[in-house]
Amino acid sequence: MRIKSYFAQSVHEAMQKARFELGPEALLLSSKKAGLPQSEAAYEVVFGVANESQPEPPVRTVSASSSEENVAQQLAELRQQIANVQRSIVSQPPGSQLAPESDGHVERLLAAGFSPAMAQELTLGAQARRGSALPPSLETAAEAPRKGRKRAAVAPAAVPTATRKRRSRSTVKSDCTADALLDEIEDRFTVAPGLGSTGEERRVVLFVGPPGAGKTTTLVKLAIAHGIAHKLPFQILSTDTLRLGGAEQLQAYSRILGAGFQTIAGRRALEQSLGELQSKKLILIDSPGFSPADMEEAGELASFVQQHATVEVQLVLPATLNTPAIASALQRFSIFRPSRLLFTHVDEIECPGCLLEAAIRSRLPISFLANGQQIPEDIAEASKAELRLKLAARLTNSALAAA
């Protein structure tokens, strides 16, 4: 294992440096006061990463003549990243670097849907944060405000006497660690609600995902929320020619909405259609649900996207998938180079652990969360505050159950 020390004014700053230089597979091993003047560095943080004999991947090039090589190269890089993570897990058994009082947090993260590797990584990060944190408050994890907001003082009289007696010093420390854990998770994922890039005259968005993800229903919800509600001239396209009658449902919805609709077969027809729809300010494109056996058919559509940078791709995934299934989907659909993640069936899960891990691992922002079949009500813009609250509530319930 390669081990390297980083000196910085904060543990979080050192973690950012390590992840930039060593990659996302770097594991935090230890942190301590640096003993240097404050103007130089306050902390020394040690990271480790598995040794690699493979050469660094070549710099990506984007050209029309080398799109197939680019796809193969990106897949190879993704497989290499997965192998690095697996080697790191083998070299660092879960819990080997954790403080004794942090073991419970790993278990709660596992119960919340995180993988063992991610649960340990997040707990180690929270442990490092706690080492440089302010004195703990009496707030519980579920009541803790988001990072950066002022914390309200809790007067002793506001806490019932029986509750104060039950709270030991270790319980307060645990609450502080849970706070740091939530801060660590919140800093690692991003949200980016919306369709296309802000300021663009015309927004073209393609929705891709596995079968049964709910792309068609989600597209209709967004057509109403972003097309009709904003009085934009918009068009709906369907490239679903794999299933018998695959586009009929979307065509029926388009008639109800009074929107233009076309079924597109092939890349050339899609290019021609986009060229003819210059007056439309919003174009939403549905696609077939591509299973692992259908990825050969997905190649033509992926090639089209790679040559048209103005087409935004949102990867639609059911939140009910487990972590390995989501990881597999992220790898398969990487040929489309998605720029955002959109999760459906959020109402069917108790905790957002799996979808948060997907956002952290892929480094893709979450755009929307669909939480039911009602059109157009059951969809919401992704919010860090809401996701944090859901996760905090689950962690708190797990802690109470374990007490």
Same domain for 137 and 228, yes or no, is: no
User: What pLDDT was estimated at residue 161?
Assistant: 46
Give all strands of the β-sheet with 260-263 in edge-to-edge order.
260-263, 234-238, 282-286, 203-208, 311-318, 340-344, 366-370, 379-381
* 327 and 346 share one domain: yes
Residues 271 and 293 both lie in one domain: yes
Say how many domains are in the chain.
3
**376 located within any domain:** yes
Which pLDDT tens digit goes with each residue over 146-171? 444 444 444 444 444 444 444 433 33
In a shared domain, residues 340 and 396: no
Q: Are residues 279 and 358 in the same domain?
A: yes
Identify the CATH number of the domain in which residue 231 sits. 3.40.50.300
The kind and range of the H/E element at 129 are helix 116-131
pTM for the full predicted model = 0.65
* Residue 318 located in a structural domain: yes
Q: Indicate whether 106 belongs to any domain.
A: yes
116 and 235 inside one domain: no
Shared domain check, 224 and 362:
yes
Same domain, 215 and 353: yes
Are residues 269 and 313 both part of a single domain? yes
Write out pLDDT tens, residues 224-270: 888 887 788 888 898 887 665 667 888 888 888 888 888 888 888 88
Parallel, antiparallel, or unpaired: how do β-strands 340-344 and 311-318 relate?
parallel
Q: Helix or strand or coil: residue 315?
A: strand
Statement to judge: residues 370 and 259 lie in one domain: yes
- Does residue 63 form part of some domain? no
Find the domain containing 12 and state its range.
2-53+71-91
- Asked whether residue 64 is assigned to any structural domain, the reply reads no
pLDDT tens digits, residue range 176-198?
567 888 888 999 999 999 988 76
